[in-house]
Chains A and B, each alone.
Chain A
């Protein structure tokens, strides 16, 4: 018991010191350090504009989550139940949208679906100048497409990792009892997958709820969410007390949602005897299965096409394809103080991402163990641990600056502040991927090992770790990805010498001109390549028998 109490201290301390404390610090500062004044809340809740934004934020996030699940589940099925050549690579590519800077993704959509994009040009070439044109820019449609595009990999990764170890016997016995494929999925597979589905849905919902960039870049300012309102109030209008009030409202709203979500997820968990992947994937495949597989892969390539369009643009010049833009990245023609070679930028990104990943794995794993411990408070703690995903980069960034600004702890200008900021948004992924597996693990496995003479630590290393490893790797993948792609906090907190790839892309796109765009796309291509390579490497990670789970 003492060990487990000790275990609880680590992640709670991390959350307290690096999240709650800065948050309280900035909010206290926003309200002038005095007693909490209800005035700003009345202003907000009495203003239909802000109420409208709150309402819009809530419903668009719910609908986006639904669409994302629709898009993600078939792909999850593909990766869970089928083996095919190039699977690891395709899986790595699947997750790329998640890490791309929003503006780069927006350019991908434009390159594909814009007026001069590949699709509309193709339509004109096929059907002549008066061919029907696809016009989805700046509509609500594209917001939902973009959210689904951004977040479907969360569903794919988390659900497929769980699905892959789910015994096909459940489905087979359902089939033997006369259920058709759809019925089997609806009544057997889906309920069994629910813990994992809830896990991913929680993350998708938060990301859609707080999404700053993607909605605005693709949808225009009229689709502003609460995040934008907070930025606007803080930075442009400098009404910190109202921004603070809105941040509190946002936190309270999402906390309530998170609490409900996490409770439902906890209830949906049933211990399921997991089986080795080999036992799942070696089943015979029918022709119908093959058609389904090919269909889903084709659909996946369609989803990924905006990114492919970007790569195409990155290597094209007026003289056809050439690496011009990539070469240009390596020269500092103007002798700028802020120039950093792509190698250094990539190295920065990788080391920050690795550091964030390690911290996220430690904190996330320990936190997940706290949450699965039986007790009525587990949902309260679970939702609390998810909050860093909710609070905007602006709020938290300024919180850090206010909280850690005096010796002995002056983190301003240190790269650590960045790694901590990244870890805070990375570890919730580790928690969410681990929970279904931890809750699904038959308790007898641990007890059996204990009775056979294994101490709790050795039970963890020899029995639990190999079984949760697969999920841990998925969590690590996302932790890595989140850090690789983050730039809100990075821009706010970091010195030039610590510039990361997204920061470099952002700088390049800060100025007009073809060369800037070309180099930004080249940098984006490098980002995709580095991240894909990282994913494949993490995916290839094998430790003893870890592969099967």
Chain B
């Protein structure tokens, strides 16, 4: 028994010693905290490292929401220099909590105005994407259905039990789609977004907590029983890219209804108290440059914000909606929690 205790105590002490030894301070180290969907080529990171004689450490901290909460909790004593992954649904909170240093890159002039989502100059946009409905081609043709052209149609008998969405309280695309419905139906109209959701609920809409759950277990493409899913405009392109056998066109398609797709812009910012601020600024410039901008589309399946950056050929299946919903980051920041509460009341309670 004594031995057990001794071993336990020794282990504890060792853990502390090792942990302390872990705390190496490299001079030119840049730590970037991101969410777990972030992806980039090793070669691109190496290029930056070589050019600046620096070491880059990419630290993933859960999903986008968790990464932001972590950054807020670490305010003043950040474990990273940069936080990548604040989007226009989270921007308000990030700014309220004042976790970022101000920085405006010269390269922002290569970014169209519509994507410059932070007028305060703290968060630099890097990529964007659209959240919209995807449909399963084979299912629709087998059942003699055509994709809906309005959101109202989804409450009709054709689409009874056909749609799976993500919970806006737990999922980014879920929140994006909720905001799109707010933009589409309005908040105070005779038939507002909550009426729509109530009808959707009556039409047996299924709510899942995460995109992966919805897509891989309920979408009919992967064995589920629902041919419509809230996903991204790039998802059909990804289906094409990741197809196992050579195909002409993807097995899924985009439903791009005017005013019913949400533009999700994602950016990067320097955390207050960062060790390597200059390096961080250089990285932001680098991330806006074409090398970086052209590298991530086939990894993260998002569009580059730099208008000079080319997208891969298969992005032809990632159609861009002609008229996405327009709703600003500020309004989202103000009303988001209220929408989620209302939505939860109507759909889940």
Where the two chains meet, the residues of A that have a C-beta atom closer than 8 Å to any C-beta of B are 3-4, 6-7, 9-11, 13-14, 17, 26, 29, 49, 52, 103, 106-107, 109-111, 114-117, 135, 137-138, 216-218, 220-222, 224, 228, 231-232, 234-239, 317-318, 324, 334-339, 359, 362-363, 365-366, 369, 394, 397-398, 401-402, 404-414, 416, 420, 456-457, 460, 491-496, 506-507, 509-518
Which residues of B lie under 8 Å from residue A218 when comparing CB positions?
217
Q: Are A334 and B41 in contact (CB under 8 A)?
A: yes
Task: Indicate if the CB atoms of B224 and A492 lie closer than 8 Å.
Answer: no
Pull 25 A–B residue pairs with CB atoms less than 8 Å apart, ordered by A.
Answer: A10-B9, A13-B12, A103-B210, A107-B222, A110-B222, A117-B223, A216-B208, A217-B213, A222-B348, A231-B170, A235-B65, A235-B66, A237-B337, A324-B244, A335-B42, A338-B60, A362-B8, A362-B11, A402-B73, A408-B20, A413-B22, A416-B15, A495-B58, A514-B243, A514-B244
Chain B residue numbers with a CB within 8 Å of A401 are 70, 73-74, 79
Interface of A is mostly: helix
At the interface, yes or no: B175 with Cβ under 8 Å from chain A?
Answer: yes
Do residues A369 and B41 form an inter-chain contact, with CB atoms below 8 A? no
Indicate if the CB atoms of A491 and B337 lie closer than 8 Å.
no
CB-based contact A492/B299 at 8 Å: no
Known contacts A10-B4, A401-B74, A506-B36; A409 and B207 CB within 8 A of each other: no
Which chain A residue shows the least CB distance to B205? A220
Residue in A13, A236, A410, A512 whose CB lies within 8 Å of B65: A236
- In the bound complex, do residue B20 and residue A513 qualify as a contact, i.e. CB atoms below 8 Å apart? no
Which among B93, B207, B245 is the interface contact of A220 at CB below 8 angstroms? B207
Separation of A408 and B13 alpha carbons in the complex (Å): 13
Instruction: Report if B124 contacts A (CB, 8 A).
Output: no
Q: Give the complex CA separation of A338 and B73 in angstroms.
A: 25
Q: Which residues of A contact B41 (CB under 8 A)?
A: 334-337
Can you name the residue of chain B whose Cβ is closest to the Cβ of A318?
Answer: B245
| Segment of B101-109, B192-200, B234-242 in the binding face | B234-242
Residues on B with C-beta less than 8 A from A117 are 223
Contacts A106-B217, A335-B43, A510-B211 known; list 17 others, CB within 8 Å.
A3-B2, A13-B9, A107-B216, A107-B217, A217-B208, A220-B206, A236-B175, A338-B38, A338-B40, A366-B5, A402-B73, A407-B20, A416-B18, A416-B22, A456-B1, A495-B58, A515-B242
Q: How far apart are B49's CB and chain A's nearest CB, in angstroms?
A: 11
The answer on a CB contact under 8 Å between A398 and B73 is yes
CA A514 to CA B20, docked complex, whole Å:
44
Contact A7 to B4, CB < 8 A, known contacts A221-B207, A237-B337: yes
* Chain A proximity mask over B269-290: 1 for CB below 8 Å, otherwise 0: 0000000000000000000000
Closest to B31 in A: A413
Expressed in whole angstroms, the Cα–Cα distance for A387 and B38 within the complex equals: 34
A110-B224, A224-B348 given as contacts; is B40 within 8 A of A337 (CB)? yes
Kindly list the 10 A-B residue pairs having the minimum CB-CB distance in the complex, ordered from nearest. A513-B242, A10-B8, A235-B65, A515-B242, A221-B207, A115-B225, A221-B167, A492-B62, A412-B79, A232-B169
Please indicate the chain B residues that have their CB under 8 angstroms from the CB of A414 in the complex: 19, 22
* A492: chain B residues within 8 A (beta carbon): 61-62, 66, 70
The reply to whether A234 and B39 contact each other, CB–CB distance below 8 Å, is no
List of A residues within 8 angstroms of B301 by Cβ? 511-512
Most B CB contacts (10 A, CB to CB) among A234, A365, A513 go to A513
Q: Are A103 and B43 in contact (CB under 8 A)?
A: no
Complex: A237 Cα to B218 Cα, angstroms:
26
Residues of B contacting A507 with CB < 8 Å? 36
Q: How far is the CB of B52 from chain A (nearest CB, A)?
A: 16
Residues in B neighbouring A9, C-beta threshold 8 A: 5, 9
